[in-house]
Amino acid sequence: MLTITDYTPLSAVRIAAAVQAGELSALEVVDAALACVEERDVTVRAFREIWPGQARERAAEIDARVRQGDQLPLAGVPLGIKATEGLNAFQSERLIAAGCVPIGTTSVPHRGSGWQTYGHTDRGPTTNPLNPARSPGGSSAGSAAAVAAGMVPLATGSDGAGSARIPAAWCAILGLKPTNGAFPARDRAGLNTPGPLARHAHDAAAYLHALAGHQDTAPPVPWSPCTVAWSPTLGFADTTPEIATTARAALERLTDAGLLMLTDTTVLLNDPAPAWSSLRSTQHDHHSDITELISGNDRHLQELFDQVDILATPTTPHPPHGHDGPGRRMSVALTWAFNISGHPRHHHPRRSHPQRRTRRPSAHHPPRRRTATAPPRHGSEGRGQYRTAGRRQRLTGSPHGGAGGRKSFD
Active-site entry in 11, 25, 82, 278: 82
In contact, 4 and 34? CB cutoff 8 Å: no
In contact, 142 and 48? CB cutoff 8 Å: yes
Task: Report the relative pairing of strands 78-82 and 370-374 from DSSP bridges.
Answer: unpaired
User: Catalytic: 82?
Assistant: yes
User: Catalytic: 139?
Assistant: yes
In contact, 394 and 267? CB cutoff 8 Å: no
Listed in sequence order, the residues at least 6 apart from 208 whose beta carbon sits closer than 8 Å to its beta carbon are: 176, 178, 196
Instruction: Assign 197 to helix, strand or coil.
Output: strand
In contact, 187 and 160? CB cutoff 8 Å: yes
Host H or E run for residue 388: strand 385-390
Active-site entry in 11, 158, 163, 231: 163
Q: Which of 32, 22, 90, 100 is nearest to 61 (CA)?
A: 100
In contact, 102 and 82? CB cutoff 8 Å: no
Residue type, 213: G
For 26-57, b/e burial (b = at least 16 CB within 10 A) is bbbbbbbbbbbbeebbeebbbbbebbeeebbe
Measured CA to CA, the distance from residue 130 to residue 381 in angstroms comes to 8
In contact, 407 and 116? CB cutoff 8 Å: yes
Rounded to 10 degrees, the C-alpha dihedral 66/204/344/45 comes to 110
Instruction: Assign 369 to helix, strand or coil.
Output: coil
| Count, residues in the chain | 410
In contact, 232 and 239? CB cutoff 8 Å: yes
Residue type, 28: E
Active-site entry in 25, 92, 107, 139: 139
Residues taking part in catalysis: 82, 139, 163
